[in-house]
């Protein structure tokens, strides 16, 4: 599904504060895999995710999505495959717009936002049912600005929004880092469900080692811009928290 061939990203090249955020990473992520990336701060996790999303462009190397070369493609042209969940719940939604408006845009992620009014009654009913499935009581607040909701609610809605339109890859950058423990557990459970139900290929960055153990089919550790551990399948299932913790020594 995703092929990274020797991708790199250096910030402030040639200056004293040069950072080699990602250094020659090659990685193949198969369709339906749920990859968890762990690593210390500054190890290049987020930059790697941004390279896949197209938020930053790779210096050298190649990025393929479903065998299409997307290396030079800007972020907004990669959205036909990719949906993103940001660490900051404020970034994933437009706070002044209503819940329904946010969902309308999400429903058009892979398509043109044209000059017709698509926010009709049928669409509203569809969103109402999806939102009701969260059991947060938000289905009657669809016209409310999404900024009036809590971070946990917004993050849960953002997850739902990602599957409003055809989605193949879900990128989650510490989606629960800004949430309270209970909301965090809730949001991760919703994410895991969505990934399984829709058979998505997912990449999750997390600092929560329990999540790294509980979720995903493969775990990758990054350090100083490189992939230093890559464990999948049954081996991944066997990893316990102490062992994972020892990776960081």
Contacts with another protein, residue ranges (CB under 8 A)? 53, 55, 74-77, 79-80, 82-84, 86, 90-98, 101-102, 104-106, 108-111, 113-119, 143, 145
* Minimum distance of another protein from residue 79's CB (angstroms): 4
Q: State how far the Cα of 232 lies from the Cα of 244, in Å rounded to an integer.
A: 14
Which lies closer to another protein via its Cβ, residue 12 or residue 240? 12
Which lies closer to another protein via its Cβ, residue 47 or residue 98? 98
Question: Which sign does the torsion angle of CA 90, 93, 96, 99 carry?
Answer: negative
Which lies closer to another protein via its Cβ, residue 38 or residue 82? 82
Q: Which residues of 199-228 are buried (b: 16+ CB within 10 A; e: fewer)?
A: ebbbbbbbebbebbbebbbbbbbbbebebe
Q: State how far the Cα of 131 lies from the Cα of 53, in Å rounded to an integer.
A: 26
Which lies closer to another protein via its Cβ, residue 86 or residue 247? 86
- The answer to whether 228 and 222 are in contact (CB under 8 A) is yes
Contacts 24+ apart (CB under 8 A), 19-22: 20/224, 20/225, 21/47, 21/225, 22/47, 22/48, 22/51, 22/58, 22/225
* Minimum distance of another protein from residue 103's CB (angstroms): 10
Which lies closer to another protein via its Cβ, residue 110 or residue 223? 110
* Minimum distance of another protein from residue 95's CB (angstroms): 6
* Minimum distance of another protein from residue 41's CB (angstroms): 21
145: closest CA among 106, 104, 96? 96
Q: State how far the Cα of 233 lies from the Cα of 217, in Å rounded to an integer.
A: 6
Which lies closer to another protein via its Cβ, residue 83 or residue 160? 83
* Minimum distance of another protein from residue 180's CB (angstroms): 22
Alpha helices in the chain (DSSP H): 45-53, 99-107, 121-132, 151-162, 181-197, 209-214, 233-238, 241-246
Which lies closer to another protein via its Cβ, residue 92 or residue 152? 92
* Minimum distance of another protein from residue 74's CB (angstroms): 7
Q: Could you give the angle at the alpha carbon of 51 between the alpha carbons of 171 and 71, nearest 5°?
A: 120
* Minimum distance of another protein from residue 240's CB (angstroms): 35
């Amino acid at each position: 599904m995703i092929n990274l061939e020797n991708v790199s990203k250096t910030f402030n090249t040639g200056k004293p504060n040069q950072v080699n955020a990602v250094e020659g990473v090659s990685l193949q992520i198969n369709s339906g895999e749920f990859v968890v990336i762990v690593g210390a701060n500054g190890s290049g996790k987020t930059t790697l995710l941004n390279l896949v999303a197209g938020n930053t462009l790779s210096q050298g190397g190649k990025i393929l999505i479903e065998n299409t070369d997307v290396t030079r493609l800007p972020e907004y042209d990669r959205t036909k495959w990719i949906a993103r969940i940001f660490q900051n719940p404020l970034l994933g939604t437009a706070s002044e717009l209503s819940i329904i408006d946010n969902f309308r845009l999400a429903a058009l992620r892979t398509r043109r936002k044209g000059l017709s009014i698509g926010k009709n009654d049928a669409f509203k009913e569809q969103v109402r049912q999806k939102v009701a499935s969260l059991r947060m009581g938000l289905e009657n607040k669809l016209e409310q600005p999404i900024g009036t909701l809590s971070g946990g609610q917004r993050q849960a809605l953002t997850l739902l929004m990602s599957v409003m339109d055809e989605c193949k890859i879900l990128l989650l950058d510490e989606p629960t880092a800004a949430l309270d423990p209970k909301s965090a557990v809730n949001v991760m459970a919703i994410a895991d469900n969505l990934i399984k139900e829709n058979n998505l290929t997912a990449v999750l960055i997390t600092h929560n080692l329990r999540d790294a153990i509980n979720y995903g089919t493969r775990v990758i550790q990054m350090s100083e811009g490189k992939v230093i551990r890559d464990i999948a399948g049954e081996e991944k299932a066997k990893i316990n928290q102490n062992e994972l913790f020892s990776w960081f020594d």
